[in-house]
A and B are shown apart, each in its own frame.
Chain A
Amino acid sequence: MFDLLLHNLRAQGIKVGISEWITFLKGLDKGLVTHLDELYGFARTVLCTSEAQFDGYDLAFTATFEGVEIPPNLSDALLDWLRKEVEAEGDLERPDIPIEKLWEEFYKRLSEQEEEHNGGDRWIGTGGKSPFGHSGRASHGIRVGGGSRNRSAISVASDRQWANYRTDTALQSRDFQVALKQLRKLTPEGEWELNIDKTIKKSCDNGGEIDFSFERRRTNRVRLVLIMDSGGSMEPHARLVEQLFKAAEELKGFRSFEAWHFHNVPYGYLYKDYYSNDRSSIVELLSQWTPQHRLVWVGDASMAPYELFSPTWRDSRCGLDWLKMIQRVCPYSIWLNPDPVRFWDHPTVSAISMIYPMFPLSVDGVRAGVRKLLHAHSATVGR
């Protein structure tokens, strides 16, 4: 019965581990849940590890329990008896019965119950030794739910009030920061300093002979460069990009941080501020940038093909050439695309994603991108 909840949770990408699941069953066993409302709250507190998962949890919960009519008003005595029965069976093992079978049986019991109308005594009674009863805590949980309350838990769950907290869509400056923060890879660097505790300990171990212990501070060597497409088709995403920019700007601890703008595709120059024409030539920038610089491009990468593939009247290089040139200097770079992935099937988008690994501009996307940059990091260190 609860297997279905577990299954639905995993289908929503909530990776419930065996230890949480056991905690959950233990909680049911200890009588923490007496109706479905409580089940909703209890399962969430045990099985979710972040508010970003709450929406997925709501969906899984609804999918599991929606439409399940549960007889109301189970008496305490019955509950106690039921609990004892479950304890008497005394193990967490589940018989090897397909979930559909269990459901079928469950519905059958429920319809019987509707005929009887007396607190569910009978169906639970007869269920005692049935396979359904054997699934122990699981069936226990569903049985103890009150009918009307069940519906209210479902309505809470189906309200989807947590939809805005999802990290695969919801975007908050803070979430970006958390994602970007993982870029901070600390490496021992800088002045050597005397570690007094260690020195004394080593000296004592050394029979009183002074043995100095020095350490270096750990600092971050990553240089972050944010390059943003601004204007045109990026207009609808302006707020999103602004949030990413804010997050990166406020995030201290990188060795350096720069932000640049371009329009559609860079030709020769990057702009400090697109509106004020304060610009630097790419060739000059490339003389300063090193492979230690991590480039994060932000743009929808979709434009008229000639903009990317054709040289302009003043430059023999096309946009794609410039992108390749930059990639050669800073090979560890990613591209964040605010457009939904289903729009990526576009000639200019695929051409650019051949040069820069492309990720959606969402918290999860940034996270995946940062992971990519980090792997690049260990690769440079390894060499």
Chain B
Amino acid sequence: MQEKFTGSKSYIADSELLADVNAAIVLEKPLLVRGEPGTGKTMLAHAIAETMGRELITWHVKSSTQAKEGLYTYDVVQRLNDSRFGGGDVADIRSYIKMGPLGRAFTSDTQVVLLIDEIDKADIEFPNDLLRELDEMAFFIPELDETVKADKRPIVIITSNAEKELPDAFLRRCLFHYISFPKPDRMRDIIDAHLPKLDISLVEAAIARFYGLRDVNGLRKKPSSSELLDWLMVLARSGAKAEDIANRMPYLGTLIKRERDLETLKRRGIRV
């Protein structure tokens, strides 16, 4: 098991990101990662877990997610059902308490990586409800009259797409890292890590067209790196050569998903 994060073969991190992750580990603070969709925010947690040999516990936040669900749930309906119709040990509340992702991360015997994914999807108050839990890495279960406290503080990675502003009190408790969109150089490394055997001239041509596309004004959704990878994969499978994409952009649908954006591009004379 490593004590430091060094990046992995399939996850290309720049030195700033590595330093920030390691600072978060040393200071035992959550690391809030923000950036455009498709810059590999979620993948970061996977890469940390993989290279450091830690278990990864993921909590996907949705608009309806309540903070308490991350700690534990108490299945009252099941308990009531069991008490009426038998089955289960009704006297044992513990068997109706189920740990959520945070609960599991805190009770784990070894240090884990906890990913709280897309925290901005939930209600504005949601992050505030987790302040104490993340500060102290502990919470209280009134039903059991017990406090759950982490022996090994998990490495906490929180991602946000900046859909909503996060409360100041929450931001103050996190380290912050912004993943900017990769420059062509780093994009080459990323492509090389995922699709190692591609023809270099095709990759170069695709990168040029891709960044050209991102510069088109008036696109509602700019294509991201994962979409570039998809596009390259399709191009490679179809046996396309660099000159095939010089004047046209076949399989544009892998890059551009919105009808209106496709129309915008057509009006600008981009041929499919």
Asked if B208 is at the interface (CB within 8 A of a chain A CB), the reply is no
Give every chain B residue within 8 A of A177 (Cβ-Cβ): 163
Asked if B43 is at the interface (CB within 8 A of a chain A CB), the reply is no
Give every chain B residue within 8 A of A196 (Cβ-Cβ): 77
Partner pick for B165 among A19, A32, A178, CB 8 A cutoff: A178
Question: Which residues of chain A from 225 to 274 have a CB within 8 Å of any chain B CB?
Answer: 246
Residue pair A51, B165 in contact (C-beta under 8 Å): no
> What is the bound-complex CA distance between A301 and B141, given in angstroms?
58
Asked if B54 is at the interface (CB within 8 A of a chain A CB), the reply is no
- Binding-face segment, B20-28, B105-113, B230-238, B244-252: B20-28
Give every chain A residue within 8 A of B16 (Cβ-Cβ): 41
Size of B's binding interface in residues, CB under 8 A: 29
Report the minimal beta-carbon distance from B254 to chain A, rounded to whole angstroms: 23
Asked if A168 is at the interface (CB within 8 A of a chain B CB), the reply is no
Residue pair A27, B23 in contact (C-beta under 8 Å): yes
Partner pick for A30 among B26, B168, B173, B175, CB 8 A cutoff: B26
Residue pair A200, B76 in contact (C-beta under 8 Å): yes
Residue pair A197, B77 in contact (C-beta under 8 Å): yes
Asked if B153 is at the interface (CB within 8 A of a chain A CB), the reply is no
In the complex with contacts A19-B172, A51-B34, A32-B178 CB distance below 8 A? no
Asked if A48 is at the interface (CB within 8 A of a chain B CB), the reply is yes
Give every chain A residue within 8 A of B173 (Cβ-Cβ): 19
Asked if A324 is at the interface (CB within 8 A of a chain B CB), the reply is no
Residue pair B19, A42 in contact (C-beta under 8 Å): yes
Residue pair B162, A27 in contact (C-beta under 8 Å): no
Residue pair A32, B23 in contact (C-beta under 8 Å): yes
Residue pair B165, A41 in contact (C-beta under 8 Å): no
Give every chain A residue within 8 A of B162 (Cβ-Cβ): 174, 178
Residue pair B168, A178 in contact (C-beta under 8 Å): no
Asked if B29 is at the interface (CB within 8 A of a chain A CB), the reply is yes
In the complex with contacts A26-B27, A50-B171, A45-B176 CB distance below 8 A? yes
Asked if A20 is at the interface (CB within 8 A of a chain B CB), the reply is yes
Encoded as 1 (CB less than 8 Å from any A CB) or 0, chain B from 162 to 183 comes to 1111001001111111101000
Residue pair A49, B19 in contact (C-beta under 8 Å): no
Report the minimal beta-carbon distance from A7 to chain B, rounded to whole angstroms: 19
> What is the bound-complex CA distance between A23 and B173, given in angstroms?
9
> What is the bound-complex CA distance between A49 and B30, given in angstroms?
12
Size of A's binding interface in residues, CB under 8 A: 30
Give every chain A residue within 8 A of B24 (Cβ-Cβ): 45
Residue pair B172, A20 in contact (C-beta under 8 Å): yes
Residue pair A197, B76 in contact (C-beta under 8 Å): yes
In the complex with contacts A48-B176, A49-B168, A54-B178, A38-B19 CB distance below 8 A? yes
> What is the bound-complex CA distance between A26 and B16, given in angstroms?
19
Asked if A17 is at the interface (CB within 8 A of a chain B CB), the reply is yes
Residue pair A45, B175 in contact (C-beta under 8 Å): yes
Residue pair B26, A45 in contact (C-beta under 8 Å): no
List the B residue with the shortest CB-CB distance to A242.
B218
Give every chain B residue within 8 A of A17 (Cβ-Cβ): 172
List the B residue with the shortest CB-CB distance to A42.
B23
Asked if B80 is at the interface (CB within 8 A of a chain A CB), the reply is yes
List the B residue with the shortest CB-CB distance to A16.
B172
Asked if A149 is at the interface (CB within 8 A of a chain B CB), the reply is no
Give every chain A residue within 8 A of B26 (Cβ-Cβ): 27, 30, 32
Report the minimal beta-carbon distance from A209 to chain B, rounded to whole angstroms: 14
Residue pair A49, B77 in contact (C-beta under 8 Å): no
Question: Which residues of chain A from 19 to 61 have a CB within 8 Å of any chain B CB?
Answer: 19-20, 23, 26-27, 30, 32, 38, 41-42, 44-46, 48-51, 54
Give every chain A residue within 8 A of B220 (Cβ-Cβ): 246
Question: Which residues of chain B from 45 to 70 have a CB within 8 Å of any chain A CB?
Answer: none
List the B residue with the shortest CB-CB distance to A165.
B178
Report the minimal beta-carbon distance from B90 to chain A, rounded to whole angstroms: 11
In the complex with contacts A178-B163, A196-B77, A200-B76, A49-B171 CB distance below 8 A? yes
Give every chain A residue within 8 A of B27 (Cβ-Cβ): 23, 26-27, 30, 32, 46
What are the nearest 3 A-B pairs in CB distance? Answer: A49-B171, A51-B178, A45-B20
Can you list 10 residue pairs at the A/B interface with Cβ under 8 Å?
A23-B27, A23-B29, A32-B26, A41-B16, A41-B20, A42-B19, A45-B23, A50-B178, A181-B164, A196-B77
Which B residues contact A (CB, under 8 angstroms)? 16, 19-20, 22-24, 26-27, 29, 31, 34, 76-77, 80, 162-165, 168, 171-178, 180, 220
Other CB < 8 Å A-B pairs besides A41-B16, A49-B176, A246-B220, 19 of them?
A27-B26, A30-B26, A30-B27, A32-B22, A41-B19, A44-B176, A45-B24, A45-B176, A45-B177, A46-B23, A46-B27, A49-B174, A50-B34, A50-B178, A54-B178, A177-B163, A196-B77, A200-B77, A200-B80
